[in-house]
Structure 1
């Protein structure tokens, strides 16, 4: 029997450590430009906060609908509850459906490969989807599956971590975990993220996979204030996979060591902490 993948996400921890993520999606939402009759697939929908915003537009039309997918069961349950609470029972809420699914399986999901979606959307998810042990072939398959999901001329608007994202946090993690495991290489094997640049995403979409035209692409340094949970809250949620191989005492010592360094490096003169987020934003069209 296959072992169920551990779910490191909870909506409570997310609100404590990363509630800023959907709040900073204004520009990619403008690029998506949802219309009342759009049929939208949200890849890595999380707890559904942005889906509520999209749904408020879709309910004004007749054929508009949204389908959100996420690998976290906890996040999908939260999305279903949030959308139902925001839209109320009945037809409005029925315009939004959600499904637990690893986005790298998109190409192997016939119901999502029929070319029925007018738009695809993803915010702060693809650096997880395409990271970890995801090889080049799976990355290619992802963009092929995304292309197949769209109607001809449909668009894919997404934002993800770009090259240089959270570099100070990542450096501290790799050094501290690597020292305990005996090498940086062993720590790298635990790294769940993939932060590409403009050249990489344009090359894989237009030349390797094909059938895409990247119409807009930009990489932006966006210094971001830490949430209520501070450095430690971010570390325990976002970097949890790095620490799972350590015994409890060693794990807690490692987290404390990392936080001690970062609470100096990231400290703002006026109080609180700042993380060096770098966002890669893309608008591509199926041709």
Structure 2
């Protein structure tokens, strides 16, 4: 997945805005060490650092980290692999918003996070749950097939029970885990769904001509019209898992 930091900030800032609502779950006192895992352009990293905590933002995207450093030059941002963190027993909290569903190897991810946490350190995260953006994925798949292209989801959207088991197998003690619907307004009016598809399905469109891409986007919108077009705006069918888990000694 190649991220467009400008499109992400301009058209998908709702991702960070929802992430801000989770900050209340984090202890951000001065003596805390926090990892913002999958920090994007640094918006939440900056919020976490405002109370004086030591915060490191890590993202696999060079473009995102470059933008984060421009946005917040006084903060520590690094390009890194979430499944292979170079920290041992270092963080009080690993925080992550809307990232885990992009990572295929969840066991390796959770082991990496577990090892980076201090004893009794916390993982606080939220990401896509089972059937997240089901309507959009279904419509996009149909639109691709009409043009002779295939679709195989890049996302990992587990159920709460499925992920609870993975956490426990890694050694985490679960304090809080919920799975819920979170209908999400896509910014930019009629262009909202098109912007979303161009960002999050970019890998499918990158090798398709402009003309065919426009047709696929139009058909995706048409297929979604009866399900997520409401009151002259696109309301994406988001579902989320929210977690607080503690590293056992």
The alignment covers a number of residue pairs equal to 246
Task: For residue 264 of structure 1, report the CA deviation from its aligned partner.
Answer: 4.6
CA RMSD of aligned residues (A): 1.8
2: distance between equivalents of 1:20 and 1:56? 20
SS at match of 1:235: helix
**Aligned partner of 2:109 among 122, 142, 150:** 142
Task: For residue 263 of structure 1, report the CA deviation from its aligned partner.
Answer: 4.1
Task: For residue 56 of structure 1, report the CA deviation from its aligned partner.
Answer: 0.7
Query: Does the aligned pair in 2 maintain the 1:38–1:118 contact within 8 Å?
Result: yes
Query: Does the aligned pair in 2 maintain the 1:16–1:233 contact within 8 Å?
Result: no
**Aligned partner of 1:256 among 218, 224, 229:** 218
2: distance between equivalents of 1:178 and 1:69? 36
Task: For residue 75 of structure 1, report the CA deviation from its aligned partner.
Answer: 0.9
Task: Give 1:101's aligned residue.
Answer: 80
The correspondence of residues 130-279 of structure 1 with structure 2, limited to 5 A, is: 130=103, 134=104, 138-181=105-148, 186-188=150-152, 191-207=153-169, 209=170, 211-228=171-188, 229-269=191-231, 271-279=232-240
Contiguous gaps of at least 5 residues in structure 2: none
SS at match of 1:285: strand
2: distance between equivalents of 1:26 and 1:15? 15
**CA distances 1:86-118 after superposition (whole Å, capped 9, x unpaired):** xxxxxxx2xx31111232333xxxx32x21111
TM-score (norm 2): 0.91
The correspondence of residues 42-61 of structure 1 with structure 2, limited to 5 A, is: 42-58=36-52
- 1:11 aligns to 2:5 (yes or no): yes
SS at match of 2:238: strand
Contiguous gaps of at least 5 residues in structure 1: 1-6, 59-63, 85-92
TM-score (norm 1): 0.80
Task: For residue 257 of structure 1, report the CA deviation from its aligned partner.
Answer: 1.3
Deviates more, 1:255-264 or 1:44-53: 255-264
2: distance between equivalents of 1:11 and 1:199? 33
- 1:34 aligns to 2:28 (yes or no): yes
**Aligned partner of 1:123 among 97, 111, 134:** 97
Query: Does the aligned pair in 2 maintain the 1:192–1:241 contact within 8 Å?
Result: no
